């Protein structure tokens, strides 16, 4: 079997094992959530017998290990369970499948991540390459200072600053309340502030890694030989340094793309963006356990998949990684 294909299959198997252990962590962590769904729905006036019967109906009276096995077995078949939020003590069940609730929210999150990535990735590569090209210049120092400043601020602080500026001068919508059926450009317009917030956060990481990877390669002997042949600095970087720097650059890009899907919870809550992060926060507040587990597992699977993609890209672009010293 081809060595690259064999390595990819090993990484995929490792990803499946990692996802299994992550599911254990997710299920265990949710057990520590404060409060009880039965008591939250039925109210403090409900008797213990009523609460116990309601918990029995939801399956919450079973041992934790049995509930975990039932959940994992159902997820393996594509069934993430049924939301608790539509259930009521009257016996009328208006609950919805978890995937039916997550699917449109996941589409919104991916939409926000996509328009952010289309701006952030090219901008980060441009800033990183030009900063390495004019290393130690005023331009390089200004770019580094700006990126360090953006890294220092947490997402919610950047979001509130942008909301303040928008309310005073820009006139952009401060609430990203997009809906199904909304025209594409209207969605883009309403998503500008959360997208700008995420761009400011992730550009710094990708730019600094791109700059560091290229500068590290500029000291290599083959780069010196290219310079001695009289090639221009731009040609040396684009033709010789950049192709060999793709492995670390692709890794940090994949990490940040994973953050765009997994780490948007705070940004979605601040801008009331109807994504998976907002859904997960609402589910935690209402003790909707199946929805919390489904959102957390999708976040984990996305992060693991993008990390595996980064490993595969690194191996394909730099086969020397197949033969570690």
pLDDT digits (tens, 9 = 90+) for 235-254: 777 777 777 777 777 777 77
Averaged over 251-272, what is the pLDDT?
Answer: 79
Averaged over 264-280, what is the pLDDT?
Answer: 84
According to CATH, the superfamily of the domain at 98-284 is: MetI-like (1.10.3720.10)
CA 283 to chain centre: 18
pLDDT value at position 301? 87
pTM beyond 0.75: yes
Mean pLDDT, the chain, integer: 78
Q: How confident is the model at residue 323 (pLDDT cuts 50, 70, 90)?
A: low
pLDDT value at position 102? 86
Query: Are 205 and 129 in contact, with CB atoms under 8 Å apart?
Result: no
Averaged over 209-230, what is the pLDDT?
Answer: 76
pLDDT value at position 308? 81
The Cα-based distances of 189 to 107, 167, 262, 270, 316 in angstroms read 17, 15, 22, 17, 38
Q: Tell whether the torsion through CA atoms of 267, 269, 272 and 278 is positive or negative.
A: positive
pLDDT value at position 318? 64
Nearest to 162 by CA among 192, 122, 120: 192
The structure tokens listed for 158 are 């950047």
Averaged over 168-172, what is the pLDDT?
Answer: 74
For residues 322 and 119, give the distance between their C-alpha atoms in angstroms, rounded to a whole number.
33
**Spans of all domains in the chain:** 98-284
pLDDT value at position 207? 86
Which has more confidence, 201 or 246? 201
Share of the chain above pLDDT 70, in %: 87
- Answer whether residue 313 shows pLDDT above 80: no
Query: Are 80 and 290 in contact, with CB atoms under 8 Å apart?
Result: yes
The structure tokens listed for 97 are 């499948």
- Answer whether residue 169 shows pLDDT above 80: no
The structure tokens listed for 130 are 């030009």
HEC-encoded secondary structure of 125-157: HHHHHHHHHCCCCHHHHHHHHHHHHHHHCCHHH
First to last CA, the chain: 22
pLDDT value at position 90? 47
Q: Which residue has the tokens 């109807």?
A: 274
For residues 256 and 253, give the distance between their C-alpha atoms in angstroms, rounded to a whole number.
5
pLDDT value at position 320? 63
Share of the chain above pLDDT 90, in %: 0
- Answer whether residue 94 shows pLDDT above 80: no
Q: Which one of 32-36, 141-145, 187-191 scores highest in mean pLDDT?
A: 141-145
pLDDT value at position 89? 46
The structure tokens listed for 44 are 């403090």
Helices and strands: H and E segment counts in the chain:
16, 0
Q: Would you put residue 93 in left (φ > 0), alpha (ψ -120 to 50) or beta? A: beta
Averaged over 70-74, what is the pLDDT?
Answer: 83
pLDDT value at position 28? 83
């Amino acid at each position: 079997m081809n060595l690259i294909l064999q390595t990819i299959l090993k990484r995929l198997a490792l990803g499946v094992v990692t996802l299994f252990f992550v599911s254990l962590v997710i299920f265990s962590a949710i057990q520590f959530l404060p409060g009880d769904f039965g008591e939250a729905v039925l109210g403090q006036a409900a008797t213990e017998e009523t609460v116990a019967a309601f918990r029995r109906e939801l399956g919450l009276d079973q041992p934790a290990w049995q509930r975990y096995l039932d959940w994992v077995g159902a997820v393996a078949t594509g069934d993430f369970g049924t939301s608790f939020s539509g259930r009521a003590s009257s016996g009328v069940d208006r609950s919805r499948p978890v995937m039916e609730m997550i699917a449109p929210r996941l589409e919104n999150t991916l939409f926000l991540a996509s328009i952010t990535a289309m701006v952030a990735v090219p901008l980060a590569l441009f800033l990183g390459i030009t900063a390495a090209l004019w290393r130690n210049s005023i331009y390089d120092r200004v770019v580094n200072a700006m990126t360090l400043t953006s890294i220092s601020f947490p997402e919610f602080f950047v979001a509130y600053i942008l909301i303040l500026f928008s309310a005073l001068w820009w006139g952009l919508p401060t609430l990203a309340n997009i809906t199904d059926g909304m025209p594409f450009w209207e969605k883009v317009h309403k998503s500008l502030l959360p997208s700008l917030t995420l761009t400011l956060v992730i550009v710094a990481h990708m730019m600094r890694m791109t700059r560091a990877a290229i500068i590290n390669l500029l000291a290599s002997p083959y780069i010196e030989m290219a310079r001695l042949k009289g090639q221009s600095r731009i040609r040396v970087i684009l033709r010789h340094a950049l192709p060999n720097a793709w492995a670390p650059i692709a890794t940090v890009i994949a990490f940040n793309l994973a953050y765009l899907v997994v780490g948007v919870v705070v940004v979605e809550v601040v801008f009331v963006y109807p994504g998976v992060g907002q859904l997960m926060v609402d589910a935690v507040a209402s003790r909707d356990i199946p929805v919390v587990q489904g959102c957390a597992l999708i976040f984990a699977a996305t992060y693991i998949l993008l990390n595996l993609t980064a490993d595969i890209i690194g191996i394909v672009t730099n086969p020397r990684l197949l033969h570690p010293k």
